[in-house]
């Protein structure tokens, strides 16, 4: 590794660390002031609250790392331009390709690390933080959290659901059991699906079995309904707490879950979008690095204004990418775009722009 490589890597890591700590600190501060009152009301010790926020850090890092990479590259090249270091390197025969090679190689490494963080570490820490928040802070009723075949217990009823989509607020394959004071089953409801609309659960393809009695013996009366509003004690938030989110699953768990859901005849579009998003998002590290490096090398103006312009450019790019990326994911969740297209189209658009910028660099 040459002296130039070591210099670029050292400067990049230094500014990346500063930016990452600053951004994560801001996110944690906002999260802290929003949630600390809930921890105090729940009577939990301060150490428990600190553990919750500590477990939140990997998820925050996985979301903001691409921003840190983009801004750190822009700052490094901006400072080299300010001090005429970039001009000296180019005059000394160091090609733009050499500079790009070092930066992009480091970005590939960061993309791999980000993928590992999001796939192996975030699901574990996110799940633990969610458990602290829901069970210890919110103190919800007893629940059994699983990916599928979820059970939720209320006062005198138990709900069993095969699959729940937290984005569309739709339950598929739901069975409700109602009991009397002697814990005797008095009513059972089976439905193909139920969706939460206007504060009510609307059931479709419903079969009801109700305990009835006549002069001779007790029996169950069976009725069928195409659609019916069913009063429930459960809100979508209750199902959200027990249905594992995509952030709590790694790639292989998510693939297994999708196959199981589709094998039972249910729609797994939302999870397919999330699966492709898990694969697509780490690539933004490389794409934004290409864009930042191309912009930084081409930018000829010097002085402090150059740095401020570079940072403004980086923040603008981050804002546009975030808006486009989330908008396309929303179209995927709404089945207006195929899952692969919804997750990757933002990357493709910004990659095309990055290639265009790099093509204009004088090598």
Q: State how far the Cα of 260 lies from the Cα of 149, in Å rounded to an integer.
A: 11
Helices 46-82, 96-116: axis angle to 10 degrees equals 170
How many CA within 13 A on the CB side of residue 248? 16
More confident residue, 16 or 103: 16
Whole-number percent of the chain with pLDDT over 70? 86
Read off the pLDDT band of 156 (50, 70, 90): confident
So what's the pLDDT on residue 236? 78
For residue 90, name the pLDDT band (cuts at 50, 70, 90): low
Q: Has residue 101 got a pLDDT over 90?
A: no
H helices present in 133-180, as ranges = none
Cβ-contact 179, 156 below 8 angstroms: yes
Helix (H) or strand (E) segment spanning residue 165: strand 157-165
SS3 197: strand
Q: Which CATH class is domain 148-243?
A: mainly beta
* Tokens linked to 216: 């001779």
The edge-to-edge listing of strands for the beta sheet with 157-165 is 143-144, 150-153, 157-165, 170-179, 185-197, 200-213, 218-230
Alpha carbon separation from 326 to 296, 330, 361 (Å, rounded): 27, 6, 31
Q: Retrieve residue 71's tokens.
A: 């801004």
Confidence of residue 171 (pLDDT cuts 50, 70, 90): confident
CB atoms within 10 A of CB 282: 21
Question: What number is the average pLDDT over the span 122-148?
Answer: 75
* Cα separation, 177 vs 253, whole angstroms: 30
Measured distance CA(272)–CA(164) in Å, rounded: 14
Spatial distance between the Cα atoms of 91 and 103, rounded to a whole number of angstroms: 20
pLDDT digits (tens, 9 = 90+) for 248-284: 888 998 898 888 878 877 778 888 999 999 999 999 9
Residues comprising the chain, all counted: 363
Q: What is the distance in angstroms between the CA of the first residue and the CA of the last residue of the chain? A: 21
* Domain extents in the chain: 3-138+261-359, 148-243
């Amino acid at each position: 590794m040459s002296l130039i490589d070591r210099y670029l890597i050292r400067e990049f890591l230094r500014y990346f660390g500063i930016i990452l700590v600053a951004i994560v600190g801001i996110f944690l501060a906002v999260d802290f002031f929003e949630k600390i009152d809930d921890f105090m009301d729940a009577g939990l010790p301060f150490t428990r609250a600190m553990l919750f926020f500590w477990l939140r850090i990997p998820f925050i890092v996985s979301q903001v790392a691409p921003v840190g990479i983009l801004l750190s590259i822009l700052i490094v090249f901006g400072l080299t331009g300010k001090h005429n270091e970039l001009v000296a390197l180019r005059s000394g025969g160091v090609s733009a390709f050499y500079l790009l090679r070092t930066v992009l190689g480091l970005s590939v490494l960061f993309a791999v690390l980000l993928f590992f963080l999001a796939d192996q570490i975030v699901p574990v820490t996110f799940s633990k933080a969610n458990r602290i928040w829901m069970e210890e802070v919110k103190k919800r009723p007893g629940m059994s959290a699983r990916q599928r075949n979820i059970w939720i217990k209320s006062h005198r009823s138990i709900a069993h659901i095969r699959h729940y989509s937290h984005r569309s607020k739709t339950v598929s394959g739901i069975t409700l059991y109602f009991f009397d004071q002697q814990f005797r089953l008095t009513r059972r409801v089976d439905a193909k699906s139920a969706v939460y609309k206007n504060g009510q659960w609307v059931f479709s393809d419903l079969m009801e079995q109700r305990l009835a009695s006549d002069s001779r013996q007790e029996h169950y009366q069976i009725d069928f309904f195409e659609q019916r509003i069913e009063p429930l004690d459960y809100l979508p938030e209750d199902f959200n707490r027990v249905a594992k989110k995509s952030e709590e699953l790694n790639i292989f768990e998510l693939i297994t879950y999708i196959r199981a859901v589709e094998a039972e005849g249910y729609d797994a579009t939302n999870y397919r979008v999330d699966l492709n998003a898990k694969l697509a998002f780490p690539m933004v590290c490389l794409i934004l690095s290409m864009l930042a490096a191309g912009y930084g090398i081409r930018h000829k103006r010097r002085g402090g204004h150059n740095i401020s312009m570079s940072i403004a450019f980086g923040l603008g790019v981050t804002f546009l990418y975030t808006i486009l990326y989330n908008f396309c994911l929303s179209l995927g969740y709404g089945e207006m775009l195929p899952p692969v297209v919804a997750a990757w189209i933002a990357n493709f658009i910004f990659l095309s722009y990055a290639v265009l910028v790099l093509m204009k660099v004088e090598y």
